[in-house]
Amino acid sequence: MYEKLADLLLYGRLEGDGAVLTELGDLWRDWQRGGAPREELLRRAHGLARRLLELAVGWGLDGNLWQGYLTYVLIGDENPYTLSVERREDGGGTLSQLARRDLAIFRQLFTLDFGPLETELGTDCFSALCRYQAPAGTEREPGRTVEKLAGALAGAASDEEFFQRLTEFYRRRGLGQLGLYRAFRVRETERGEAALEPVADGEEMTLDGLVGCQVQKEELLANTRALLRGLPCNDVLLYGDAGTGKSSSVRALLPEFARDGLRMIELHKHQLRLLAPAIAAVRDRNYAFILFIDDLSFEESEVEYKFLKSVMDGGLASRPGNVRIYATSNRRHLIRETWKDRGDMEYENEVHRSDTMEEKLSLAARFGVSICYNTPNRQEYHDIVRALAARQLSTDMSQEELLLLADRWEIRHGGVSGRTAQQFIHYLAGGNRYGNPG
């Protein structure tokens, strides 16, 4: 086994999770050469099996964990060949030949016989992982994606078929974290660079599930479809009252368009200085990226907005066409204004204070699309409640009682809004059907 791993070229940089494969190769070498105590080899074998199990549980895998692990390594390997395939470049030439050679080795690893090693050490730890059964309800992405591809690769009748099936996955889904996950957060590395951390799937919001903002959704969809098609599109600012569906509208784009190549990267206001490094991290990748900044607003003394302006203005390193910024805010102009801002003369600090105000207001103007989300009126609130109840509740409650309880709820929970309506429906779904909300 270790000789095969040493022959890998394009796929030979086994780092991170791939280090388990390297350590397993070292274990195999020490076992075959002899000299190492059995107890030490057994301890190492159990340690590697435990790490494989921990990785598999973290990914939500089921079935043959060994093949699932190898598949995860293949998906995550960003090398010259895989990156060229993701960019839809010609898959022929020397890169293709080298990839075929490496993947033939991986196909042999798919059917690796752990029997002789386990017999020698007196364990069945690896064989047990090859017939793993996950607890019910623990399967999730990216495990389902890995399992499906692992099954296809295991069923390949030849090295060429193994190569073609994996290459098609690269073209269709991509590779690395971007091929397995849809949403990411940004973390600053010790070198000041931006690293993407995948976000596990949570409660999925759909566009159809958002009631009462149809016009706003259509405008958001039109801009996002243009982004996915590589057409001219704009940065988007969604502004308006709290609880009206701004953030939910943006998040609902991901399940709608993830299969079309949409990925979402969330940044917080205090991370705006990482905006340019985050864009650099995804430059030249074959996806459409939404950089999502939720609840964006600035106080008078805050200057982080200058990082955002700098990126939106462009510079020597222009922003790629497949990256756009979507931000939500309760403020139309993002930065708090005071009456003092409107006086042209200020003798304490600035000669012409209106120039400063113009600089602040110009940030919002850089968003080519601005979508307003207003608080619904009473009738619209009732429409939202009825629509959510029809989709999420199974009840014989009359419409009159439903709306009466909804009105009682909103009086004590922040007024009429889509968020208030959804919280009320959650309350009813929790078994409090005939109680007194609040």
Q: Where are the alpha helices (DSSP H) in 155-289?
A: 159-173, 176-180, 214-228, 246-251, 253-257, 275-282
Number of Cβ within a 10 Å radius of residue 178: 21
Alpha carbon of residue 342 to chain centroid:
42
pTM > 0.85: no
Query: How many other CB atoms sit within 10 Å of the CB of residue 15?
Result: 9
Partnered with residue 187 across adjacent β-strands are 195
The residue type of 233 is C
Residue whose pair of structure tokens reads 């009105």 in the numeric block = 407
Rounded (10°) CA dihedral 133, 138, 141, 147: 10
State in Å, rounded, how far the first CA of the chain is from the last one.
Answer: 65
pLDDT of residue 36: 85
What is the residue extent of each domain of the chain? 2-180, 196-373, 378-429
The partner residues of 197 in beta bridges, in order of sequence, read: 185
Q: What is the pLDDT along the chain (438 residues), one digit of tens a residue?
A: 778 888 899 998 888 888 899 999 999 999 988 878 999 999 999 999 999 998 888 878 888 999 999 999 999 888 899 988 887 776 568 899 999 999 999 999 999 999 999 999 999 999 999 888 877 766 666 778 888 999 999 999 999 999 999 999 998 888 888 888 889 999 888 777 788 888 876 556 778 778 778 889 999 999 999 999 999 999 999 998 888 888 889 999 998 998 888 999 999 888 888 888 888 888 878 899 999 999 887 766 666 667 777 777 665 456 788 899 999 988 776 666 554 555 554 545 554 455 555 666 677 778 889 999 888 888 888 888 888 888 878 777 888 888 888 888 888 887 888 888 888 888 888 776 545 545
Q: What is the mean pLDDT of the chain?
A: 83
Query: In Å, how far are 239, 418, 428 from 212, measured between CA atoms?
Result: 15, 8, 20
Judged by DSSP in three states, 372 sits in strand
Q: In what order do the strands lie in the sheet with 194-198?
A: 194-198, 183-188, 262-267, 288-293, 323-329, 236-240, 369-373
> How far apart (Å, rounded) are the C-alpha atoms in residues 14 and 25?
11
CA distance 403 to 259: 38
- Residue 284: exposure state from Cβ atoms within 10 A (0-12, 13-18, ≥19): exposed
pLDDT at site 138:
64
pLDDT tens string 337-387:
554 555 554 545 554 455 555 666 677 778 889 999 888 888 888 888 888
What is the C-alpha separation between 254 and 249, in angstroms, rounded? 10
* Fold topology of 196-373: Rossmann fold (3.40.50)
Q: How far is CA 421 from CA 202, 203, 358, in A?
A: 21, 17, 38
Question: Using an 8 Å Cβ cutoff, are 333 and 360 in contact?
Answer: yes
Report d(CA 261, CA 182) in Å as an integer. Answer: 9
pLDDT at 202: 57
* Residue 380, phi then psi, degrees to nearest 5: -65, -35
CB atoms within 10 A of CB 277: 17
Number of neighbours of residue 69 by Cβ within 10 angstroms: 26
CA nearest to 235, candidates 143, 130, 308, 344: 308
Cis previous bond, 277, omega within 30: no
Quick: pLDDT tens for 148-201. 999 999 999 999 999 999 999 998 888 888 888 889 999 888 777 788 888 876
The predicted-structure confidence for 187-208, as pLDDT tens digits, reads as follows 888 777 788 888 876 556 778 7
Predicted pLDDT at 295: 84
DSSP 152-187: HHHT-SSHHHHHHHHHHHHHHH-SHHHHH-SEEEEE
Q: Among all chains, which residue has been given the structure tokens 């921990």?
A: 54
